[in-house]
Amino acid sequence: MRSSRMALSAAVFGALALPLVSATAATAAPDSVPSTMPTTRACDRPGPWGISTQAVDIRSKASVKSTRLGILHRGHRFTVHKTSGNWHHITGTTTGVRGWVSGPYVYRDVRMCLG
């Protein structure tokens, strides 16, 4: 029974490794790139901002001791104007509140190009 498991494991590993070996030749860059090719694709640019918790406080200054101006809930849209240290200066497009949010709760959506 142990040898059949080892044979099965080797077969699965071989099946998974095969696309990786053959993909290296298929994904090699061409010798010359036409000048009409775009330099960046839409999927290469960072996506919209989001928050990683249910809600985060919007503060008047980049400090947890500053006045709370409002709350940014998950799903609300907002624009990041600048970053200072671990804080982001934002405007909530859903509520219109402008202030600072703590960096660990805010992230940039990452997109992947498939092809």
Over the stretch 6-32, which tens digit does the pLDDT of each residue have?
Answer: 555 555 555 555 454 444 545 555 565
pLDDT of residue 75: 85
Q: What is the mean pLDDT of the chain?
A: 75
- Are the CB atoms for 88 and 78 separated by under 8 Å? no
Q: Is the pTM of this model over 0.75?
A: no
Closest by alpha carbon to 87, among 72, 73, 102?
102
pLDDT tens sequence across 64-86: 999 999 998 888 888 899 999 99
Tell me: pLDDT of 3 over 90.
Answer: no
- Cα–Cα separations (whole angstroms), residue 60 to 13, 53, 95, 97: 55, 20, 15, 10
